[in-house]
Amino acid sequence: MLQDTSFAIHPGKEKQNQKALIYQDVGKVKQYKRTGNGFLFICENAQVAILFYTNSIVRIVMNPKGEPQLDKSKVVVANPEQLLIKEQIINDTIMLKTNRIKLHVQKAPFRLKVTDRRGRNLLVEGARGMAFRENGEVAVWKEMDKDDHFYGFGEKTGHLNKRGERYEMWNTDVYAPHNPETDPLYESIPYFMTLRQGKAHGVFFDNTFRTVFDLKKSDSYYTFSAEGGQLDYYILAGPEPKAVIEQYTYLTGKMPLPPKWAIGYHQSRYSYETEKEVRQLATTFIEKDIPLDVIHLDIHYMDGYRVFTFDHDKFPNPEQLIKELHDMGIRVVPIVDPGVKKDVEYKTYREGVLKDLFCKYIEGEIFYGDVWPGTSAFPDFTDQKVRKWWGEQHTFYTDIGIEGIWNDMNEPAVFNETKTMDVTVMHRNDGEQTTHRELHNVYGFLMGKATYEGLKEQLNGKRPFLLTRAGFAGVQRYAAVWTGDNRSFWEHLQMSLPMVMNLGLSGIPFTGPDVGGFAHDTNGELIVRWTQVGAFTPYFRNHSAIGTVYQEPWQFGGKHEEIMRKYIQMRYIWMPQIYSLFHEASTKGLPVMRPLLLEFPNDKKTYNLNDQFMIGDNVMIAPILAPSVTDRAVYMPKGEWVEIETGKTYAGEQTHLIHAELDVLPIFVKRGTAIMQTEWMSNVKKSPENMSMHVFAGALNESYRFIFYDDDGETFAYENGAYLKLELEVTCSEHGVEVTVVNEQGEYDPLYKEIKLNVIGLARNQKVKINGASRINIV
């Protein structure tokens, strides 16, 4: 409107715009000083701090406004270690060295180059380095090698390799179709990994403002920038892709070990609307021998979408319902959104207002936005007092036996033009008033923290489960992530693979899409193929939207139902293997579902392999991802691969044509390795009584080590030793297959008293030998 007034020719306007657009370089180093692991460079136009965390992790902080502030992180859990850092001045360059990385700080102007001890370039600033704009923006330019491939960035559409893309981080509720150019989505993970000729390094940009990563503008450099705050980033030296993830999760934390039920099969729908419907659903699963661990309750369970209430007409006795289901081994996970309905007769709202817990403008007005319940207020999770209060509200659920919560709309989503809260809302931020513009991206993360910590406190030693839509770097510490409102399109099944793989490379191992597709109508063939993939994605939930066809596993009858049963049961057969991988995720940060490049970083054919994935380091899945297709090309990386369905062996480093009728998911296990399995169960209520170790005999001289981990799957007793951890080694040679118990730890007593060894593909002259004993004998 102002464009139509004299304001359009305001004298200050033109000048202001131009000035705001110019990037100001940090300039020359005027002086620098050292304190312990840290170095402070006073440059002409800004100050830069360099702080070493470990021999392989260094943090760079540029503040255009004064001394870099090192205590601003919302997510980093690590502190700098005691280190030996060598300092050396060569001409115009100051060298700072650990035994892993070398920083070359050029003084005039300040330019940073980071190499590893072998001289491999990690980050190189060339003509341009760090800079800022008058409008508060901070940015950095880095050279891009022609062989650089990029991964990570959390939840993004498109292919596995992100070179040539531009991504924004701004948590957004996107219902409109997710297509390759839809960006941003719900999660902000300002982190990526670069892979160049088999070696990797990473960058974590710890800035909660809207950030942009531009790998598109040029082929010779890339940039990352933020709308405000400091240019605060960490360089992770790798050198293997796995090492980068370990370094990243050293900083941002690892996922807690999930309860086993949470890695079982989940059934959801927007919404199962009555107690009767939920009961019927549960009994149908049992009658049909389809395993089920969790039923989700979407927004219709509430009274007018008021969180922490039940609609008592539709759910007259939730406590009884939860108990009955629990006796059947089925958990209920209700949805909890952040929006609290503005209604003075509603306790949560009244309490929030009276105790001053909602997000407000600086002038003192509460921010109201429209969400499912209509006009709503939003708890200010940036404040410890509010987080505690929110956590405590969950006794409403835990008192009646609920152990898991589903957080949605926590970007936060608001039904308005901007899709979210007004960016001028002022958060309490534990005493340091901060705008929503700065803290928007951590709103969901902090809601997750409040919820997880509240649940943990209330569950008396049981492990909570939290599912979230929005999050920030570090979200893995509190929640599993599902990838939001996808659609029942084959394209979305295809896209879910690189998305989940990149989430895994971004430190978030527990993720998955809505199996079958959320919006749009699914069909028998699509949901069968999607369920096959779902059986091996870390998070496995079938969910669909209001108004779409129902998509429970039996809705398409006949062979479709039979095949879905087979794959949901298969998830339980594979549970010991998958659970051991979750244990690895909780200790090392490594993903359960992996792109092939994580295991074969030297194999260029894996660098953008979108339609195959690995479970752990030895199982490869190559699903069918298109309609009417029953043959596909499968790339086999190094090694020999046994197809489970046919027992056929395929040579590695070649592409093979594989046949897979609708009832077959192509699964391959690397020869010379092993997997752990049990029998299928209707859910994890029953502990396994049998355990098998399947060894795929190899002929070459090779050995393979892995860890089989088990515990009660439900409590934190494992923290006090109640677990079983067997480190096993399989050695194959021409003469035989040897299985060795290398190490045994823990005191957990499972129901199975032995592990049955099954050797597949043993040659006639090969003998089987078992070395070493454990409490749980291998027989």
| Smallest separation (angstroms) from ligand GLC to the CB of 402 | 17
Question: What secondary structure does DSSP assign to 684-735, as a single string?
Answer: TTSPPS-EEEEEE--SSSEEEEEEEEEE-SSBSGGGGT-EEEEEEEEEE-SS
Q: How far is the CB of 181 from ligand GLC (least distance, A)?
A: 20
Nearest distance from C-beta of residue 729 to ligand GLC, angstroms: 44
* Of 296 and 428, CB closest to ligand GLC: 296
The active-site residue out of 408, 599, 712, 714 is 408
- Name residues contacting ligand GLC, limited to 237-276 (CB under 6 A): 270
Of 213 and 378, which CB lies nearer to ligand GLC in the complex structure? 378
User: How many residues of this chain interact with ligand GLC, rule: CB under 6 A?
Assistant: 10
Burial class of residue 589, CB neighbours in 10 A (0-12, 13-18, 19+): buried
Does 469 bind ligand GLC (CB under 6 A)? Our answer is yes
Nearer to ligand GLC, 229 or 512 (CB): 512
The least CB distance from residue 408 to ligand GLC, in Å, is 5
User: Residue 135 or 418: which CB sits closer to ligand GLC?
Assistant: 418
Q: Please say whether the beta carbons of 776 and 724 come within 8 A.
A: yes
Cα distance between residue 650 and residue 655, in whole Å: 9
Quote the least distance from Cβ 496 to ligand GLC, whole Å: 15
Contact yes or no for 537/568 (Cβ under 8 A): no
Q: Is 145 a catalytic residue?
A: no
No. of helices (H) and no. of strands (E), the chain: 14, 51
Closer residue to ligand GLC in complex, CB, 468/677:
468
Q: Least distance in Å: CB of 369 to ligand GLC?
A: 15
For residue 488, the minimal CB distance to ligand GLC (Å) is: 14
- The yes or no reply on residue 335 touching ligand GLC (CB under 6 A) is yes
Q: Which is nearer to ligand GLC, 414 or 581 (CB)?
A: 414
What φ, ψ does residue 727 adopt, rounded to 5°? -95, 120
Instruction: Give the whole-angstrom CA distance, residue 477 versus residue 481.
Output: 11
CB neighbour list of residue 36: distance below 8 Å, 6 or more residues apart: 80
Burial category of 327 from C-beta neighbours within 10 Å (exposed 0-12, middle 13-18, buried 19 and up): exposed
Amino acid at 91: N
Residue 644 touches ligand GLC, criterion: CB under 6 A: no
Q: Which is nearer to ligand GLC, 544 or 586 (CB)?
A: 544
Task: Give whichever of 299 and 667 is closer to ligand GLC, judged by the CB atom.
Answer: 299
Among 183, 227, 298, 611, binds ligand GLC (CB under 6 A): 298
Catalytic one among 148, 187, 293, 411?
A: 411
Q: Which of 155, 485, 643, 712 is catalytic?
A: 485
Among 189, 299, 573, 619, binds ligand GLC (CB under 6 A): 299
Residue nearest ligand GLC (C-beta atom):
270
**CA-atom Rg of the chain in angstroms:** 27
d(CA 694, CA 434): 56
- Closest by CA to 708, choosing from 680, 662, 668, 748, is 748
8 Å CB contact between 500 and 483: yes
Exactly one of 444, 484, 504, 507 binds ligand GLC (CB under 6 A); that residue is: 484
Nearest to 122 by CA among 20, 215, 9, 244: 244
Q: Which residues pair with 31 in a beta bridge?
A: 42
255, 266 in Cβ contact below 8 A?
no
Supply 383's token pair.
């404040």
**Separation of CA 657 from chain center:** 32
Of positions 380, 408, 710, 711, contacts ligand GLC by CB under 6 A:
408
Distance, CA of 521 to CA of 638 (rounded, Å): 40
Q: Which two tokens stand for residue 277?
A: 């419907």
Closest CB to ligand GLC among residues 64, 379: 379
Q: How far is the CB of 176 from ligand GLC (least distance, A)?
A: 12
Tell me if 155 sits within 8 A of 483, measured CB to CB. Answer: yes
User: Does the active-site annotation cover 71?
Assistant: no
Beta bridge partners of 295: 267, 332
Q: Which residue has the tokens 């400091």?
A: 230
Residue 208: phi and psi, rounded to 5, are -90, -5
d(CA 341, CA 368): 9
Under the criterion CB under 6 A, does residue 696 sit at the interface with ligand GLC? no
Residue 229 binds to ligand GLC (criterion: CB under 6 A)? no
Q: Biggest alpha carbon distance in the chain?
A: 93
- Min CB(337)–ligand GLC separation in Å: 7
Annotate each residue in 515-544 with x if it binds ligand GLC (CB under 6 A) or - if it does not, as one string.
Answer: ---x------------------------x-
Give 298 or 611: the residue with its C-beta nearer to ligand GLC.
Answer: 298
147 annotated active-site: no
> Token pair of 698, please?
């190899």
CB 187 within 8 A of CB 155: yes
Residue 187 interacts with ligand GLC (CB under 6 A)? Answer: no
Indicate the residue among 382 and 468 with the shorter CB distance to ligand GLC: 468
Closest C-alpha to 576, from 778, 752, 717 = 752
Task: Based on the shown chain and the rule CB under 6 A, indicate whether residue 485 belongs to the binding site for ligand GLC.
Answer: yes
**What minimum distance in Å lies between the beta carbon of 314 and ligand GLC?**
15
Least distance from ligand GLC to the Cβ atom of residue 293, Å? 19
Handedness of CA 16, 22, 28, 32 (dihedral sign): positive
Quote the tokens at residue 308. Answer: 């922490």
Residues forming contacts to ligand GLC in the complex (CB under 6 A) are 270, 298-299, 335, 408, 469, 484-485, 518, 543
List, by residue number, the catalytic residues. Answer: 408, 411, 485
